[in-house]
A and B are shown apart, each in its own frame.
Chain A
Amino acid sequence: METTETTEDLGRRVRDLIGRMSPLGERTAESHHDVMNDLGYDSVAIVELALVLETEFELQPIDDEQAFDVVTVGDVEQLVRRLSGAGA
């Protein structure tokens, strides 16, 4: 895995993935987009996205103190940075 990936690169990959997997059909995802209301994610799609993110970014099991609820695409980017170690 490329270890020199920048924070911005990682964010772009997360946004691309979320946009590609949107239940509304492939589209551009921006950091300010609401994952559910703007991009159509429902509970099944959220689980599916999480499983793909875990594989794609090798996310580690969550520490409850680090966990927070995600609303926007930017929240997901931030969470992936933390859980993948890129934002530590």
Chain B
Amino acid sequence: MSTTTIDTTTSEITDAADAGDASLPALPTSRELYGRWEKQQWAVADVKVDRDAPVWQEMRPFIRQELLAALAELEVGEVCVVQTLSSLVDHAPSEDDRIYLATQLADEGRHVRFFQDYLSDAAGIDLEDAADGKALEAAASYGNLFEPTLRRSTARVREPGEGGTTAWYQALVQYHLITEGVLAATALRTMRTLARRAKLPALTEGLTNVTRDETRHVTYGLIAARHGVTAGHRDTIAETYLAGTRLAARVMVAPETRAVTPVLRIALRSRAAQLTGQWDMARDRMLRQLAVIGLPELRAEAARTWQSGCDQAMDEYRERWDTEHPVRRAAAA
């Protein structure tokens, strides 16, 4: 049974975690995912990213900043996952897993190339310039808040005597389920909506391709984690998932970044609704994944952890900026 569907009328791509069904849906095998990879190839050059350049030159500041920040988050995340996936490949539990994960490594490289080409040739960002591309990358919440954890856990997979299979499942949860299944999936969906709204055909096409690849990656994470839950790694997966949930909530709130806070109340409410819409999307994906991997009993605790993570991040925002986060300001208005 196929768990990935592409609705050609809406270009929406869904994976097993989108199904919204608390029962355990059937998942493909890693060998079947390899087969999909062969059929779902695309080339960055075919997207012709520079056709979006005229739109970027006329773009208004707010949506330009929103798009640039989201592109930088995705680019930073993709660079990180390219650099960290190889330990999961090397220590994969089976040959089919290893072969599938090798295809994923190729995908991640392609994504980096797409986002860097797009930032450079469509948005006109100099990625080597300290005040331009480097500043954008340095502001990415994922890079500041989650990347160090992922780098530590994937490095631990390679260290002899550091936990073996346990370390592999910890890294898998942080990589496939939290980074890709929650954070990247939410960012991609938000970004595709913005790209369509801004009438950016190359970005829309490229993000659709990236999302299709990511759907395979997340599906692999669900397969592997479900297997781990039934193979004696339930507690490791549950603990890692909850810790990742708290960190993911912080990434979504991004307390280290001063948020746009309009003076006009109607705009403040709109802004707050945009942000909470993204947070809710991420939380819902996080909860649905738990059901798919066979840990539905963890959902109530995960929901509390998520809310607590958001609340703490908004407290941190107030401490750092000496003002309430726009979501709290809108709620109080």
B298 at the interface (CB under 8 A from A): no
Q: Which residues of B does A touch, CB under 8 Å?
A: 60-63, 66, 194, 197, 260, 262-268, 270-271, 273-274, 333
Q: Is the interface of B mostly helix, strand, loop or mixed?
A: helix
How far is A79 from B83 in the complex, measured between Cα atoms in Å?
A: 52
How far is A64 from B329 in the complex, measured between Cα atoms in Å?
A: 11
Most buried by A among B60, B194, B270, B273: B270
Contact B197 A50 (CB under 8 A): no
Most buried by B among A46, A53, A69: A46
Give the contacting residue for A61; candidates B61, B63, B263, B267; CB below 8 A: B263
Contact B260 A67 (CB under 8 A): no
Hey, which chain A residues are within 8 Å of B268, CB to CB? 50, 62
How far is A51 from B264 in the complex, measured between Cα atoms in Å?
A: 9
Please report the total number of A residues contacting B with Cβ < 8 Å.
24
A56 at the interface (CB under 8 A from B): no
Chain B minimum-CB-distance residue to A21: B60
A6 at the interface (CB under 8 A from B): no
A17 at the interface (CB under 8 A from B): no
Contact B274 A47 (CB under 8 A): yes
Contact B266 A48 (CB under 8 A): no
Q: Is the interface of A mostly helix, strand, loop or mixed?
A: helix
**Chain A 58-82 residues near chain B, CB threshold 8 A:** 59-62, 64, 67-70, 79
A54 at the interface (CB under 8 A from B): yes
Give the contacting residue for B267; candidates A21, A47, A68, A83; CB below 8 A: A47
Chain B minimum-CB-distance residue to A42: B197
Expressed in whole angstroms, the minimum distance between the Cβ of A56 and any Cβ of chain B is: 12
Hey, which chain A residues are within 8 Å of B62, CB to CB? 44, 47-48, 51
How far is A61 from B266 in the complex, measured between Cα atoms in Å?
A: 13
Hey, which chain B residues are within 8 Å of A42, CB to CB? 197
Hey, which chain A residues are within 8 Å of B274, CB to CB? 43-44, 47
Contact A59 B60 (CB under 8 A): no
Give the contacting residue for B264; candidates A43, A44, A50; CB below 8 A: A50
Given contacts A21-B60, A64-B333, A67-B333, contact A47 B271 (CB under 8 A): yes
Report 23 cross-chain contacts, Cβ distance below 8 Å, ordered by A residue.
A21-B60, A42-B197, A43-B270, A44-B270, A47-B260, A47-B270, A47-B274, A48-B61, A49-B267, A50-B262, A50-B264, A50-B267, A51-B62, A53-B264, A54-B263, A59-B264, A60-B263, A61-B263, A62-B263, A64-B333, A67-B333, A68-B265, A70-B266
Hey, which chain A residues are within 8 Å of B264, CB to CB? 50, 53-54, 59, 62, 70, 79, 83
How far is A43 from B263 in the complex, measured between Cα atoms in Å?
A: 15
How far is A43 from B264 in the complex, measured between Cα atoms in Å?
A: 13
Expressed in whole angstroms, the minimum distance between the Cβ of B115 and any Cβ of chain A is: 22
How far is A57 from B276 in the complex, measured between Cα atoms in Å?
A: 29
How far is A44 from B265 in the complex, measured between Cα atoms in Å?
A: 14
Give me the 7 closest cross-chain CB pairs, A-B, nearest first.
Answer: A50-B267, A43-B270, A50-B262, A48-B62, A50-B264, A67-B265, A46-B270
Chain A minimum-CB-distance residue to B194: A44
